[in-house]
Structure formats: C-alpha cells, structure tokens
Amino acid sequence: MQLNKFALALLTVAVAAQDHLDGLPECAKPCVHQNAPNSGCRSEDDFKCLCGSTEFLTAMAGCAMHQCSFGDLMTAQNWAADKC
C-alpha cells in the first residue's frame, strides 16, 4: 500500500498547468492543486522538488485514495511514474 501511495503522489507532482495534467484522472487533479501550495516548493512545475517532498506526496496519496477509484489510482500511479 505504501508503494501505491507514493506512486500516486508522484503522479500529481508533475503538475504545473492544465496541459501537464493531460492523462491524469480527473479525480486526482484537485488533489494536486490543493496540496502543491503546502509542499514547500516554489511552484507546481518544480517537479524535482515536488517529487522529493514527503509532505506533498503523503497529502497527495491520502487525497487521491479518497477521491479516486482503484482503476483511476492505477492510472495515476503509472502517470506519476512517467513524470517523476
């Protein structure tokens, strides 16, 4: 479960603009926008920082797990793995 949470969090990390969210399930997009400002990173497109932010990854995982179906979580995980 920890790996899924981590990977899901990573997927949301690669978010700077709406175009960067293409391929990310709709259920996970609000989670990115909600949690990126609290990451300590300078912006939503600072992928290196977001991918390394434990606070962001933990918050993203929790949010997405509550908002997304299992299938969407898997899609998000794959998307995150590609982005980070």
Q: Binding site residues for heme, as ranges?
A: 46
CA–CA dist 60, 46 (Å, integer): 16
Q: Among 2, 38, 20, which residue's Cα sits nearest to residue 28?
A: 20
Please state the residue numbers annotated as binding site.
46
CA–CA dist 13, 43 (Å, integer): 10
